[in-house]
Amino acid sequence: MKTFKMKNGGVVQLADKNKMEEWPIELPLLFIEYIKDKLLDSYGSAKKEVEKYLDEILKEVAIPRLISVLEGEDNEEIVLALTRIEEISKKNAEMAKPISKYLDDLLKRNNKQIVKLAKKISGNFAKAERKKELAKKRNVMRDKEKLFLEGKINGEEYAKARLEYLTLKE
Amino acid sequence: MAKKQISKEFNLQAMRKLFLEYIERGKVKSDIILPPDTVKIDNLNRKETLHRLYKLVDDVLEKIYKSGRPSIELPSRSGTNIIWDEENDLLLLGTQIVEKQFHTLTSVADITRLMRVLEVVNELLNEDIHATKREVFYTDVNLFLEQKNSDKSIEDVASMLYTTRNSTHVVAAPKGTCVGRLRIRDKSDIIDLEGLGSGGWTISPMLDNIDIIESDAEFILVIEKDAAMMRLAEARFWRKYPCILLTAQGVGNVAVRMFLKRLSKELTLPVFALVDADPYGMYIYSVYLRGSKRLSYESPFLATPNIKLLGLLTRDLDKYKIPQEVRIPMTAQDIKRSKELLQEGYVLKNKEWADDIRLSLKLKIKAEIQSLSAHGFQFLTDEYLPEKLTTGDWIG
């Protein structure tokens, strides 16, 4: 177990990343998501250190293991892995992002289930990307509004920015 | 009428000190170096167990080809071959070997049952499934006649393969429960033992599918009785005092003891036992502490040598003013068993434990954990346990 000490004297112990090599292929990713969603906020002063450890697990264990499956020929295993990745990409696209470069290849596979899941994951990535874009534009829009009210930009420039924002929102 | 509770604050400092010592050291007293005159048993995965099984069958075949009179050798599990290892405080199997001939009338039934169990184990391992001892008995009722015969063959097969019974995929029926600050995985499912209500998680005998994935507990409390477990679970004891609670409803079966051992070893947590202050409670504690005679070959995987006897101690009865009317007079059988316990080397080695048993014999009194509720139903959770964990009032 990997031990994290908190300033209040408490201790949190998480499974060792080496042990995760023996786990079912999708489990390390589920583990990371589980800890982030349900427990991380309760870790107090150890939160940052645990976050760093979870990132290590993601980079060193979870993603490489998934990739080894996606690059293989066992369709049953690929479907199992993609089902979990789809669930994760819906909730947290960033976490599943490292597999995006394999999607083109998966979409060309001769297996309906694999193609269907790959499409869904692609869709979830696109949705997440649009959300990110929108958040960026919203900030730009707020600045433009401020400048417009202060008379530093004209109506035409403001209307152009507003149109861009609304188009993206729709 | 329920007694009025005085709300006290306890910081569990003695327990915390022990816990931090374990964490600093990085391990508890559980990595065992076996003495040279004892049998070494390995906890194997499915492939490794299959490999040993094939090797054993190959050896039998070779004997058939060479002499036409095959036999099987296995460690003797008789009382004379059970050794108390004082250093590790464990009951272990010595190096005496028994040979079972295929061609003698005395051992033919025995060896046929043994080979039948080997066949079942082979099937279980190949299919990667598990069966209970009862199911194994029902695979051939005419051959086994009684379950005690199939149980004996199952244990013989495990010792013959120099592995644990769980490694053969023959498991006990689920019995114990666990609840508290612990997250585990069962194959691909993540189970939160805080979120299962007061009933808790039934300890799976298929421990090869289980992994500990997260815990912020600081100690483990092993409870003899369901009633006491229910009291602690209802009070959500682990929320105020970060811990894992575990009960086996009596003597822990293989799965419970193996799971406890893993919790203690992997999480490096102090372990405390809460049992009745009677000879049976002391026996339950001793089985967790150093293993049982019947399964002595598995002791290194089943015993938790760092377990402390937290309560109920005979000396607690006066200290906590337990009323006379809830103390129970010892029977002749209790007195006999207590005297027998005092003959055991592992009891005599622990002066405090021996003194407490002597005190019970002097007073001729025993008491159940429930006797504490004479001071109110919450006395156990709000005062007795927290105070003992704060002051370090335990044995071991």
Residue-wise pLDDT tens for chain A (170 aa)?
999 999 988 899 999 999 998 888 888 988 998 999 899 999 999 999 999 999 999 889 998 888 888 888 889 889 988 988 888 888 888 888 888 888 999 999 989 999 999 999 999 999 998 888 888 888 888 888 888 888 888 888 888 888 888 887 77
Domain final position from B147, B171, B195: B171
Summarize the confidence of residues B59-76 as an average pLDDT: 89
Residue B357 has pLDDT above 90, yes or no: yes
Q: What ipTM did this prediction achieve?
A: 0.81
Binned at pLDDT 50, 70 and 90, residue B289 comes out as very high
Active site residues of B: 138
Looking at the fold, whether B202 and B310 belong to one and the same domain comes out as yes
- Nearest Cβ partner of B216 from A11, A27, A31? A11
Summarize the confidence of residues B296-302 as an average pLDDT: 78
Most confident listed range (A100-109, B171-180, B334-343): B334-343
Q: Which residues contact B148 (CB under 8 A, 6 or more apart)?
A: none
Q: For residue B288, which of B152, B133, B89 has the smallest C-alpha distance?
A: B89
Judged by CB atoms closer than 8 Å, whether chains meet at B190 and A11 is answered as no
Q: Which positions in chain A have a beta carbon within 8 angstroms of at least one beta carbon in chain B?
A: 1, 3, 5, 9-15, 19, 23-24, 26-27, 30-31, 34-35, 38-39, 42
**pLDDT given for residue B372 in this prediction:** 95
Helix axes A112-149, A155-169, angle to 10 degrees: 160
Q: Chain A: residue nearest B13 by CA?
A: A9
Does the beta carbon of B188 lie under 8 angstroms from any beta carbon of chain A? yes
CATH number reported for the structural domain that contains residue B180 in this entry: 3.40.1360.10
Residue A83: how many other CB atoms lie within 10 Å: 14
- Nearest Cβ partner of B242 from A1, A10, A23? A10
Q: Which residues contact B360 (CB under 8 A, 6 or more apart)?
A: B277, B278, B314, B330, B338, B366
**pLDDT given for residue A95 in this prediction:** 80
Binned at pLDDT 50, 70 and 90, residue B4 comes out as very low
Backbone angles phi, psi at A3, to 5 degrees: -105, 135
Q: Chain B: residue nearest A11 by CA?
A: B216
Residue B26 has pLDDT above 80, yes or no: no
> Is residue B6 assigned to a domain?
no
Q: For residue B264, which of B220, B232, B229, B225 has the smallest C-alpha distance?
A: B220
Looking at the fold, whether B21 and B52 belong to one and the same domain comes out as no
Summarize the confidence of residues B265-273 as an average pLDDT: 95
8 Å CB contact between A36 and A65: no
CATH number reported for the structural domain that contains residue B123 in this entry: 1.10.10.10
How far apart CA B77 and CA B41 sit, in angstroms, is 13
Judged by CB atoms closer than 8 Å, whether chains meet at B218 and A24 is answered as no
Residue B71 has pLDDT above 60, yes or no: yes
| Average pLDDT of the residues of chain B | 90
Judged by CB atoms closer than 8 Å, whether chains meet at B211 and A34 is answered as no
Residues of chain A with C-beta less than 8 angstroms from the C-beta of B267: 1, 13
8 Å CB contact between B184 and B235: no
Length of chain B: 396
Q: Hunting for tokens 């800890």 — which residue is that? A: A35
Residue-wise pLDDT for B95-143, tens only, equals 888 888 888 887 888 899 999 999 999 999 999 999 999 999 999 999 9
Looking at the fold, whether B74 and B126 belong to one and the same domain comes out as yes
Judged by CB atoms closer than 8 Å, whether chains meet at B183 and A19 is answered as no
Residue-wise pLDDT for B182-228, tens only, equals 999 998 889 999 988 878 999 999 988 899 999 999 999 999 998 89
> What residue numbers bound the domain in which B139 lies?
46-171
Nearest Cα of chain B lies from the Cα of A12 at a distance, in angstroms, of 4
Tell me the percentage of chain B whose pLDDT exceeds 90.
65
DSSP state at residue A145: H
Element (H, E) at B178: strand B177-180
Summarize the confidence of residues B78-101 as an average pLDDT: 80
pTM of the model: 0.82
How far apart CA A77 and CA A24 sit, in angstroms, is 10
Binned at pLDDT 50, 70 and 90, residue B7 comes out as low
- Total number of domains constituting chain B: 2
Looking at the fold, whether B155 and B251 belong to one and the same domain comes out as no
Looking at the fold, whether B92 and B74 belong to one and the same domain comes out as yes
- Nearest Cβ partner of A30 from B190, B215, B242? B190
- Nearest Cβ partner of A3 from B23, B212, B218? B23
Binned at pLDDT 50, 70 and 90, residue B1 comes out as very low
Looking at the fold, whether B222 and B135 belong to one and the same domain comes out as no
**pLDDT given for residue B6 in this prediction:** 53
